[in-house]
Amino acid sequence: MSQTDLSKSIEIITKTEELADKILVNKQELTVMDKRRQQNREALRLIEKSEEPKVWITIGSMLVKMKRERAVELLKKDQEQINQQINVIYSDQKILVNKHRDVEFKSPFSGTNLKALDRAEFDALKANLPML
Amino acid sequence: MGETEKIEVRDITRIERIGAHSHIRGLGLDDVLEARAVSQGMVGQKDARRAAGVVVQMVREGKIAGRCILLAGEPSTGKTAIAVGMAQALGTETPFTSMSGSEIYSLEMSKTEALSQALRKSIGVRIKEETEIIEGEVVEIQIERPATGTGQKVGKVTLKTTEMETNYDLGNKIIECFMKEKIQAGDVITIDKASGKVNKLGRSFTRARDYDATGAQTRFVQCPEGELQKRKEVVHTVTLHEIDVINSRTHGFLALFSGDTGEIKQEVRDQINNKVLEWREEGKAEINPGVLFIDEVHMLDIECFSYLNRALESDMAPVVVMATNRGITRIRGTNYRSPHGIPIDLLDRMIIIRTVPYTEKEVKEILKIRCEEEDCIMHPDALTILTRIATDTSLRYAIQLITTANLVCRRRKATEVNTEDVKKVYSLFLDENRSSKILKEYQDDYMFSEISEHEEEAAAVAGGGAKRRLDTGDGDAQAMEH
């Protein structure tokens, strides 16, 4: 193998590994985000149920006592942000996976760029096409 | 039942019409579409294969929807083989429908209906399904029932994956679902976020020792990994024909299985076209034009040809590949003669790929591949003889002899087919030439031999069967190759 071939192979392998690593990091990130989402949801639920006018919540490492409504508002905002971030990771992941397939000389997954069909529409199809 | 596991990319069933081509795995081309001498079951026919490779490339890029390709060549020169190779090279993503020209003549359906169903079977629509599911192992489940027995129930469930654990408060409706599925601690479940449907995947391995005896249907699964709330996206490809069938109310989807779809109204088709186009505008669907292969295309008549002419102009038309072994012959249903038995106006739209007869070396190579395909070990001498037979008679006859010789060889408990076996089956089974020779020789001993050819013709004309006579008279000796 000539020098250029060698360096080219190394370049391709590094690129593949780099992308694969990014994908795995993203996956880990998704888990972490979901964990946070679930915890947030639990907290929201508990606070909404409690009857105390003021509740304790942590902000970073600080423990703060604040009005219930304010706390709920804060948590809801948090939840929204987390959901947004998860969406960003999902779409990022799709691009990364197709890039990874590209460096491995595979054709990209078809149809990933499609918008999902409406629930009702899909259910109708599914009810009639048992193989779906 | 693990329903979510069943929802996978459905591959389009590919029915191998002819076992004679089961050895073909692709077109045998390299990266730059140059044909390799022997590859993927294909031998020789380099130019035709390269041409087919270019067509496949264009189909993949979606460039030549609504066009027509004609594979023309003498009998047994690999026309169907090339079509099968194209189907394989296109992969499972692209719909490929294969039919024979005479399939359209059915009493249940008009010819044009059969053709338009075939055309619509060859067009895929790619759609995506997106579901948010919660997947985890049940750690604990509490359901509080009111003392009266009826009324609102409330409950709580703790779900976990390998990385995390969380609580969910349960409402009345979802509790019903949980009870219906008989969910208990240790089960691995999925909950569809949109519909609230609960699904039991099985029991967790860690709880395998909870009971001494379990039912036979208990399935053990691993505790899920990663996040609890997952997003699943599945891309399906359905054909336009499938959508047609489920929307033609008179038949319903059961017709898909019985194959008895009957006629589908044009209005239904138009509606579906509009809907699919609408989806495409909204970015919800991709149209994936596939390939319709019509073998023995000279069997179509003038009505079908003019219908095809029109159908190919539609914006949702597949690539139509046709094959014929006819030279200049009558177009079915008319008295006009035309090249390949296809009207000139349709012929003008076509790209014609010609297949050429195989050389002796290529024939040998094909026979070798067939031997491998049929698990038949053949002595080189026997193969040489077989090649000789193939060039003298026909390739198809020689391929038949492989199977039969193999059986004869097994009869005498040998593993390798030798020359004796081939000679034996050659004497046992006649080829077309020898058979007709015998017929000519002993014509007088057969039934109805007293009717001379001249009289027969006269009788046929009198009986109004003149057309049929002409039909059979026109074709060459190998017209009835199937």
What domains are defined for chain A? 3-128 (1.10.287.370)
Rounded CA-CA distance B392/B398 in Å is 10
Give, in degrees to the nearest 5, the angle at Cα A32 between B198 and A42.
Answer: 55
Q: How many CB atoms lie within 10 A of CB A13?
A: 11
Residues in chain A: 132
Per-residue pLDDT of chain B (482 residues; tens, 9 = 90+): 444 444 444 444 444 433 677 788 888 888 777 888 788 888 888 888 888 888 888 887 767 667 788 999 888 888 888 888 888 888 777 888 888 888 888 877 888 888 888 999 898 888 888 888 999 999 999 888 877 777 778 889 999 999 889 988 888 888 888 888 888 888 999 998 888 889 898 888 888 777 777 777 778 889 998 888 988 888 888 888 888 887 776 555 555 555 556 678 888 888 888 888 988 898 888 888 888 999 889 889 898 999 988 888 887 788 889 999 888 889 888 888 889 889 988 888 888 988 888 888 888 888 888 888 888 888 888 889 889 888 888 888 888 888 888 888 888 888 888 888 888 888 888 888 888 988 888 888 887 766 666 665 666 555 544 444 444 444 444 444 44
Contact A110 B194 (CB under 8 A): no
Q: What is the pLDDT of residue A131?
A: 59
Q: What pLDDT does B8 receive?
A: 44
Q: Would you state the pLDDT for residue B481?
A: 40
Given a cut of 60, is residue A101 above it in pLDDT?
yes
B231 CB within 8 Å of a chain A CB: yes
Per CB distance under 8 Å, which residues of A are interface residues toward B? 27, 30-31, 33-35, 37-39, 41-42, 45, 90, 109-117, 119, 122, 125, 128-132
Tell if the CB–CB gap between B233 and A112 is shorter than 8 Å.
yes
Q: In sequence order, which residues have a C-beta less than 8 Å from that of residue B446 and are 6 or more positions away?
A: B439
Token pair listed for B10 = 């459905």
CA distance A38 to chain B (A): 6
Q: What is the CATH number of domain B360-434?
A: 1.10.8.60
pLDDT at A85 (0 to 100)? 94
> Matching CATH topology for B128-233 and B360-434?
no
Q: What are phi and psi of B2, to 5 degrees?
A: -85, 85
User: Which chain B residues are within 8 Å of A33, Cβ to Cβ?
Assistant: 227
Specify the CATH architecture of the domain B128-233.
Beta Barrel (2.40)
Calpha distance B401→B429 (Å, rounded): 8
> B167 touching A, CB under 8 A?
yes
Alpha-carbon distance values, B100 to B111, B319, B339, B477 (Å): 13, 16, 19, 20
CA distance B42 to B34: 13
| pLDDT tier for residue A10 given thresholds of 50, 70 and 90 | very high
- Cα–Cα distance for residue pair B110/B113, rounded to 1 Å: 5
Q: Residues with Cβ < 8 Å from B280, sequence gap 6 or more?
A: B286, B287
> For chain B, which residues make up each domain, given as ranges?
3-122+290-354, 128-233, 360-434
Collect contacts of B250-257 with beta carbons under 8 A, ≥24 apart. Answer: B252/A128, B253/A128, B253/A129, B253/A130, B256/A129
Beta bridge partners of B156: B142, B169
Q: The domain at B3-122+290-354 falls in which architecture?
A: 3-Layer(aba) Sandwich (3.40)
List the single residue in B7, B166, B284 with the smallest CB-CB distance to A117.
B284
Contact: B246, A125; criterion CB under 8 Å: yes
- The chain B residue lying nearest A94, using CA atoms, is B233
For an interface test with A, which of B127, B161, B239, B247 has the most A Cβ atoms less than 10 Å from its Cβ? B127
The answer to whether the Cβ–Cβ distance between A112 and B163 falls below 8 Å is no
Which residues does chain A have within 8 Å of residue B288's beta carbon, measured at their own beta carbons? Answer: 110
HSE on the CB side for B43, CA within 13 Å? Answer: 19
- Cβ–Cβ < 8 Å for A82, A32: no
Among B236, B271, B281, which would you mutate to test the A interface (most chain A Cβ atoms within 10 Å of its Cβ)?
A: B236
Cα separation, B418 vs B381, whole angstroms? 7
Contact flag B226-A30 (C-beta cutoff 8 Å): yes
The yes-or-no verdict on residue A11 having pLDDT over 60 is yes
Measured torsion, CA atoms of residues A45, A46, A52, A57, in degrees rounded to the nearest 10: -100
| Smallest CA–CA distance from B275 into chain A, residue | A121
Q: Which distant-in-sequence residues (6+ apart) come within 8 Å of B24 by Cβ?
A: B40, B41, B42, B81, B84, B85, B88
3 state SS of B237: strand
Rounded to whole angstroms, the Cα distance separating B362 from B375 reads 20
Better pLDDT: B307 or A124: B307
